[in-house]
Amino acid sequence: MRALVIAAILVGWLCGIRGVHADTGIPDDFPRFLVPGHDAEMDSLRRLMWLHYPGAGPKATLWDEWLSGAALWPAESHHMPLFRAQWDDVLSRRIIEPDGYVATHQHPSIAHPLGWPFPFWNQGCSTGWGWHFSLEQVPPGWHATEEKSQDGWALENAADRGIAGHAWNIELTEPGARITAPPMAFDTFQAPFMQLRWRVTDLRDAEPFLEWRTAEEPAFSPDRRMYFPAPAPSEAFAHTAVPLYTHPRWTGRITGLRIGFDNAAPGATVQIQALFTQYDTRHTINGQNYVRGCAKYFWWTRDVDFLRRNINRMRLATAFTMREFDTENEGVVVVRWVGHDGRSGIVYDEEGAKSIRPGYGIGNNYWDLMPMGHKDALATIYHYDALLTMAQIERDILHHPEWGVPRGALALDPERLEAHAAQVKRTGNRLFWNGDTKRFACSIDADGTMWDYGYTFLNLEAVHFGFATPRHAGAILDWVCGDRVVAGDTAQGADIYAWRFGPRATTKRNIDYYVWVWSNPESIPFGGQVQDGGAVLGWSYHDLMARLNVRGPDNAAERLAAIASWFDEVAAAGGYRAYYDGSRPGTLQGGGTAGGLGLDKEFFESVLVPQVMVDGFLGFRPTADGCRVAPRLPSDWPELAITRIRIHGLILSIRARHDGFDLTVDETVGPADAVFAAEAPPGWTADAPASPTARSERESALPSWVVPCRPGTTIRFQPPAR
């Protein structure tokens, strides 16, 4: 079992991350970061960005928020056109269930087809049940079972046509055909879903169903039955997840299963690839990441057609989070899915003896080994940001009736969303704040236990997204920066940055809080596993942004310089794999091996780190009408220039100084009559040929100017005179 499963177990099918030493040919049209006196440092950041930029195309839903912005702003001629088309296509085709759940879009396994690829039914303990006539298209290592014959199955009004074409073939010879599985025994807690992998022909107007029996009720009965839809005829096998946990009589220990096809006439054929129990491996953060990814795509591109096609999908995803996790009543995300109650899959008795609890501790997010369930802090933080994001999108639509974007029954009231976001912030800061350690815990489980292992990533994201109150944000940075020691933590002070490029993911040794399949965490030393004292390069972005927001640009720039220095050493050694070759502390995870450091391979989010130049120090934000710029320069940076920023139909360069910034239109790559508005901080002014916008008063409290979309146009923005 790996320590962290990310997008591609088969890394080769994705855009591979090249070695640092191979990246000598950065194209001339790739953006540059220019700071006089800091040339070498800026060159290092540019090389770091180029190294990971080719991997910034769409991945699983998990990355929708993290990669979309990094992929869409660099005006680089090779990848940019592909990325824009790919992000439009992938976001528009994300599977969204009728109730609004957004699929994870992970690699295949035998877990929930719309969820994370593990745990699966027989992983770690023999607690579930499954029968696979074929394991075709399931990657090795992602099923932990074997193919079986049809021996032991009973057929009624059906004929066995043998196993062929990667399935058991059944002909329905009479109406009301049924098949019964061999005897089994499993607890319903281990099986919130049953999954049927199958395809059919000529099964028209049927209502298939699954029936079950128990030791107490040994006969099949219609009151222990659940219907599910038959798939349309197709060459592909349908993966039907039957949500049996919603049925009130799906309880106790199951001893028998029967599928009824409800066929009204003979002649249909059914091909069954597998029938098996299934844990609920859905994630609680998919809808939030999808909504934020869509918004970023729209704000960078101003692709109104994309918004028309996807706005109701975004609304549905937002409403799902609010309803499914009862956020308006609870004020935070509360997860009631089976196996997601926040309790650990590992428990110790008073003598220290360990017990494994199958079915407990299923992950909810990127940090897939840790439960984080019931009252879920990370999902709550993302929900807060998604609410504000969706509120702004709804305001954009209201301000632009000419776009023709539908409102209708699914439209969300931006004031309601903003009020709910304020409620979530208040409640979350109260519930998740650990007064003893003065930082946020990751969850409060169904027993009321607060789990806190010093989750730096969660706390820094809370600061970055504005979820943490100013008092809490200050306490978090005091701890992470080493100025405040938390008693009982394994890593304290300077040791929090032992890996140099960023803080440890956690600062307290954790051998207690995991999904049951990760049953021997004590066998790996602290720092040898990403989720226990290790580190992920991409999350240094949130560290930098949090420092910038709380401790100011000088503090953030000092941390950025340390990252650049580390990266220079890595490059000189020949890349990540050569640098961490065993000659120094640190083991790499990726490409199928576990380790303590997430840098390359499936860690696509490493591209986030250089984005602090755009999002942070330049203070650049795309908007529906243009951009917002609010520079925050370190005291020893005389200026910061960033070239080739692609936004809407323009390519811009921006040069920020301590006394203002210049915005230059380098190229137009969109409609010639497009209106582009630039916003600056309160009290700032702009010179000609910019003109104040008529819309600024009702859209934003910030001053806004229309920028002529003509190549060579430069507008100077200046702060108020002191």
Model confidence at 671, pLDDT cuts 50, 70, 90, reads confident
Q: Is 349 exposed, middle or buried (0-12, 13-18, 19+ CB in 10 A)?
A: exposed
Tell me how many domains the chain contains.
3
H-helix or E-strand spanning residue 226: strand 225-227
- CATH number for the domain spanning 49: value is 1.50.10
Model confidence at 22, pLDDT cuts 50, 70, 90, reads very low
Q: What percent of the chain has pLDDT over 70?
A: 95
Query: Which of 557, 581, 614 marks a domain boundary?
Result: 614
pLDDT tens-digit series, residues 437-467: 999 999 999 999 999 999 999 999 999 999 9
With respect to residue 109, please indicate whether it lies within any of the assigned structural domains.
no
- CATH number for the domain spanning 274: value is 2.60.120.260
The pLDDT score that the predictor gives to residue 606 is: 98
Mean pLDDT of 74-86: 94
With respect to residue 100, please indicate whether it lies within any of the assigned structural domains.
no
The pLDDT score that the predictor gives to residue 172 is: 98
Residues 436, 569, single domain; the answer is yes
pLDDT at residue 476 is higher than 50: yes
Residues 263, 309, single domain; the answer is no
The pLDDT score that the predictor gives to residue 700 is: 64
Query: Which of 278, 301, 323 marks a domain boundary?
Result: 278
The pLDDT score that the predictor gives to residue 695 is: 55
Residues 607, 622, single domain; the answer is no
- Alpha carbon 51 to chain centroid distance? 22
The pLDDT score that the predictor gives to residue 694 is: 63
Share the mean pLDDT of the chain: 94
Residues 440, 319, single domain; the answer is yes
pLDDT at residue 129 is higher than 60: yes
Q: Which DSSP string corresponds to 401-459?
A: GGG----STT---HHHHHHHHHHHHHHHHHHSEETTTTEE-SEE-TTS-EE-S-BHHHH
pLDDT at residue 508 is higher than 80: yes
- CATH number for the domain spanning 714: value is 2.60.420
Residues 664, 583, single domain; the answer is no
As a whole number of angstroms, the distance between CA 364 and CA 357 comes to 18
Residues 55, 197, single domain; the answer is no
pLDDT tens-digit series, residues 389-444: 999 999 999 999 999 999 999 999 999 999 999 999 999 999 999 999 999 999 99
With respect to residue 298, please indicate whether it lies within any of the assigned structural domains.
yes
pLDDT at residue 487 is higher than 60: yes
pLDDT tens-digit series, residues 673-699: 678 999 999 999 999 888 888 654 445
H-helix or E-strand spanning residue 434: strand 433-434
| Boundaries of domain holding 701 | 618-718
Residues 84, 139, single domain; the answer is no
With respect to residue 2, please indicate whether it lies within any of the assigned structural domains.
no
Mean pLDDT of 163-185: 97
Beta strands 154-156 and 178-180, pairing class: antiparallel
CA torsion, points 480, 484, 490, 491, in degrees to nearest 10? 40
With respect to residue 5, please indicate whether it lies within any of the assigned structural domains.
no
With respect to residue 513, please indicate whether it lies within any of the assigned structural domains.
yes
With respect to residue 657, please indicate whether it lies within any of the assigned structural domains.
yes
Residues 345, 298, single domain; the answer is yes
Residues 239, 316, single domain; the answer is no
Residues 134, 223, single domain; the answer is yes
Can you read off the two tokens belonging to residue 512? 């207690």
- Do 539 and 612 form a contact (C-beta atoms < 8 A)? no
| Alpha helices per DSSP H over 338-413 | 377-399
The pLDDT score that the predictor gives to residue 127 is: 83
Query: Which of 560, 586, 614 marks a domain boundary?
Result: 614
Residues 562, 697, single domain; the answer is no
pTM equals 0.95
